[in-house]
């Protein structure tokens, strides 16, 4: 498919889009192999390969369509759906564990309402006693004195 595209069409595409097409045809390619093919297809000078391969790697890393395999080769994420399902299942299990732990924590740390209200009443009584002689004075009364 990539070979059928003319240079003018390829020039309008991003490196990532071209890499996507190349990986559809042949999965499991290194960054260098992919970028060499792109440079050749676009008939770019060899120094582009040296100067932009780092940017290309970063772009592939940030593009969610691509997956860097353990052997350092790139593939399309759509070819690895089973891994995504396993991760989602693990997350569901993890969320259940967190919810169970949270519920257990709440049950073990329940505060009896009577204890709380007694403490609160004591605090209010202390504040009331402290400010019982407080008098509110209007600004006009202050100015008159």
**Is the per-residue pLDDT at 116 higher than 60?**
no
- Residue 84's pLDDT band, with cuts at 50, 70 and 90, is very low
- Residue 34's pLDDT band, with cuts at 50, 70 and 90, is very high
- Average of pLDDT values for 65-69? 88
The single residue listed with the structure tokens 């970028």 is: 35
Count the helices and strands in the chain (H runs, E runs).
7, 2
- Residue 94's pLDDT band, with cuts at 50, 70 and 90, is low
Mean pLDDT of the chain: 75
The alpha-helical segments, DSSP class H, found in 42-80 are 46-62
How far is residue 36's CA from residue 12's CA, in Å, rounded to a whole number?
18
Q: Give the domain ranges of the chain.
A: 7-77, 81-130
pTM: 0.53
Question: What is the tens place of the pLDDT at every residue in 3-27?
Answer: 567 777 888 888 999 999 999 998 8
- Average of pLDDT values for 125-131? 68
Question: What is the tens place of the pLDDT at every residue in 45-60?
Answer: 989 888 898 899 999 9
**Is the per-residue pLDDT at 128 higher than 70?**
no
The CATH fold assigned to 7-77 is Arc Repressor Mutant, subunit A (1.10.10)
Name the nearest CA neighbour of 63 among 98, 30, 17: 17
């Amino acid at each position: 498919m990539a070979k059928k595209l003319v240079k003018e069409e390829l020039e309008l595409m991003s490196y990532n889009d071209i890499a996507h097409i190349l990986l559809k045809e042949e999965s499991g390619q290194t960054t260098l192999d992919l970028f060499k093919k792109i440079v050749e297809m676009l008939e770019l000078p060899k120094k582009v390969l040296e100067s932009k391969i780092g940017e290309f790697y970063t772009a592939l890393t940030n593009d969610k369509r691509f997956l860097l395999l353990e052997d350092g080769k790139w593939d399309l994420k759509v070819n690895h759906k089973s891994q995504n399902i396993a991760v989602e299942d693990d997350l569901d299990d993890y969320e259940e564990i967190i919810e169970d732990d949270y519920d257990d924590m709440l049950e073990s740390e329940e505060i009896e309402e009577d204890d709380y209200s007694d403490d609160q009443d004591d605090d209010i009584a202390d504040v009331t006693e402290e400010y019982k002689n407080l008098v509110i004075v209007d600004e006009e009364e202050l100015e008159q004195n």
